[in-house]
């Protein structure tokens, strides 16, 4: 079979196996101590993936969680992964650092027959026979998830202590005797906010895929296409490159017509035709190995910025350069917003107060920032730290031939921000 250049480009994003451990464990342990948590039981899919590397197929977000990670702050090198029996062999091909795996009898096993210890054998592939951790998992097979978690809690010495749950409702339903239930959401977000080297590589790869998909979308556009067509065209490029989108699509901003400067989000139903000269705001979301991409920039369809739009494009590029240079550890979000607005004001735009300048974390979600500090205070105007990945959003609203948008994904380093996109701050044209 002949390999095309497109095939080679796509294969560059697929990568190999994930590192066995890519979570910021030391930072998590610090967060647990600061919040008085002796242990954590994580059941949210992204937290389970973050802590273990396990990414199970077929599970939907509002279904009961068929997996959990149990971690003790006092024995952090011995976490326990509890999973539904049908996921056991997945771990043979998705190796992580947790070697103590506890399967439980789940939904596939019949209710009209009594449970048996050898039920687990149905889910072990031939290449798992004799594997040490598989054999130990077989010995730990339990007939329900609560029993498996209770065993893990006891063996890790977490009976009667304070355990944080990333889903406190599950903690209450679990009803472990003597355990004090705490909230682990912010402890995990605190850990996730500063990326390990492996995570930075994953985010850089996701961003490169997004950039390539946007470039391909622009190149493939034809007159007569609608906004819905464009979103689908972007999704096609993403799929061919090996990425994933969430329904209803990958493009986030909506595009009002004429002189309407309202800020709206895409809904997947806009079938109006894209006119030459329109300013398309590519703000695209998706994932690769569950790590998010975000961002994009303005594309001027079959043209270049004209009139006021030229001023807005230059001002937005200047603001991006200044703010990214200032994105150093210790800076607060409000300071960066004020700086960006000052640049817009000096550039002579009609009203600097109209500029939208905002930030969030990026990683396994578009948050990855704790919502409250250990003392319970809201973490709204948060501080940048080295190793964070923080998208910068700059939007000057306007009609369909004026609005200017730029979102750059930025790694926070000691001497300022490092952009992950390679294409600079000017609009895409033509």
For residue 204 the two structure tokens come to 């850089």
DSSP 8-class letter at 261: -
Instruction: Point out the domain boundary residue: 172, 192, 212.
Output: 192
Identify the domain containing residue 61 by its residue range. 25-192
Which residues have C-beta within 8 Å of that of residue 140, sequence separation ≥ 6?
Answer: 101, 102, 103, 148, 151
Q: Same structural domain for residues 144 and 46?
A: yes
H/E segment holding residue 299? strand 296-300
What is residue 6's predicted lDDT score, i.e. its pLDDT?
60
Q: What is the pLDDT of residues 334-368, one digit of tens each?
A: 999 999 999 999 999 999 999 999 999 999 999 99
Indicate whether 3 pLDDT > 50: no
Q: Tell me what pLDDT residue 376 has.
A: 95
Residue 412 lies in a domain: yes
**Is pLDDT at 231 greater than 70 in this prediction?**
yes
192, 214, 249 - which closes a domain = 192
What is the pTM for the complete model shown? 0.95
- Determine the pLDDT at residue 18: 86
142 and 32, same structural domain? yes
Mean pLDDT within 37-41: 98
- Residue partners of 367: CB distance under 8 A and separation at least 6: 189, 360, 361
pLDDT number for residue 325: 98
For the chain, how many structural domains are there in total? 2
Cβ contacts of 59 within 8 Å, gap of 6 or more: 45, 65, 66
> Are 228 and 188 within 8 A, CB to CB?
no
Contact at 8 Å (CB) between 105 and 115? yes
> 239 and 266, same structural domain?
yes
């Amino acid at each position: 079979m002949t390999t095309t250049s497109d095939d080679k480009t796509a294969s560059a994003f697929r990568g190999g196996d994930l590192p066995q451990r890519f979570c910021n464990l030391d930072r998590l342990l610090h967060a647990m101590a600061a919040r008085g948590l002796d242990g954590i039981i994580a059941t949210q899919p992204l937290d389970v993936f973050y802590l273990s590397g396990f990414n199970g197929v077929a599970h939907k977000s509002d279904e009961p969680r068929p997996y959990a990670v149990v971690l003790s702050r006092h024995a952090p090198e011995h976490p326990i992964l509890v999973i539904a029996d049908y996921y056991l062999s997945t771990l043979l091909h998705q190796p992580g650092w947790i070697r103590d795996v506890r399967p439980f009898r789940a939904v596939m096993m019949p209710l009209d027959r009594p449970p048996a210890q050898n039920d687990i054998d149905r889910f072990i592939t031939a290449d798992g026979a004799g594997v040490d951790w598989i054999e130990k998992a077989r010995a730990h097979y339990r007939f329900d998830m609560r029993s498996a978690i209770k065993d893990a809690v006891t063996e890790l010495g977490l009976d009667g202590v304070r355990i944080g749950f990333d889903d406190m409702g599950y903690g209450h339903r679990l009803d472990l005797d003597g355990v004090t239930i705490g909230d682990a959401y912010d402890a995990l977000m605190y850990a996730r906010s500063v990326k390990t080297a492996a995570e930075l590589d994953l985010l850089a790869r996701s961003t490169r895929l997004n950039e390539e998909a946007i470039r391909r979308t622009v190149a493939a556009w034809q007159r007569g296409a609608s906004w819905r067509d464009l979103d689908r065209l972007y999704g096609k490029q993403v799929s061919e490159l090996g990425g994933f989108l969430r329904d209803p699509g990958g493009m986030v901003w909506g595009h009002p017509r004429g002189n309407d400067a309202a800020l709206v989000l895409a809904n997947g139903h806009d079938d109006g035709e894209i006119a030459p000269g329109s300013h398309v705001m590519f703000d695209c979301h998706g994932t690769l190995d569950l790590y998010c991409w975000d961002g994009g920039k303005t594309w001027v369809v079959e043209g270049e910025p004209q009139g006021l739009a030229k001023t807005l494009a230059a001002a937005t590029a200047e603001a991006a350069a200044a703010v990214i240079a200032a994105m150093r550890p210790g800076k607060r979000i409000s300071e960066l917003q004020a700086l960006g607005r000052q640049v817009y004001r000096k550039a002579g735009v009609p009203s600097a107060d109209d500029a939208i300048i905002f930030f969030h974390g990026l990683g396994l979600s578009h948050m990855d920032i704790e919502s409250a500090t250990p003392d319970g205070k809201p973490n709204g105007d948060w501080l940048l730290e080295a190793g964070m990945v923080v998208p910068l959003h700059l939007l000057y609203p306007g009609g369909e031939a004026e609005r200017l948008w730029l979102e750059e994904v930025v790694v926070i380093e000691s001497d300022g921000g490092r952009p992950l996109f390679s294409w600079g701050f000017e609009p895409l044209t033509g």
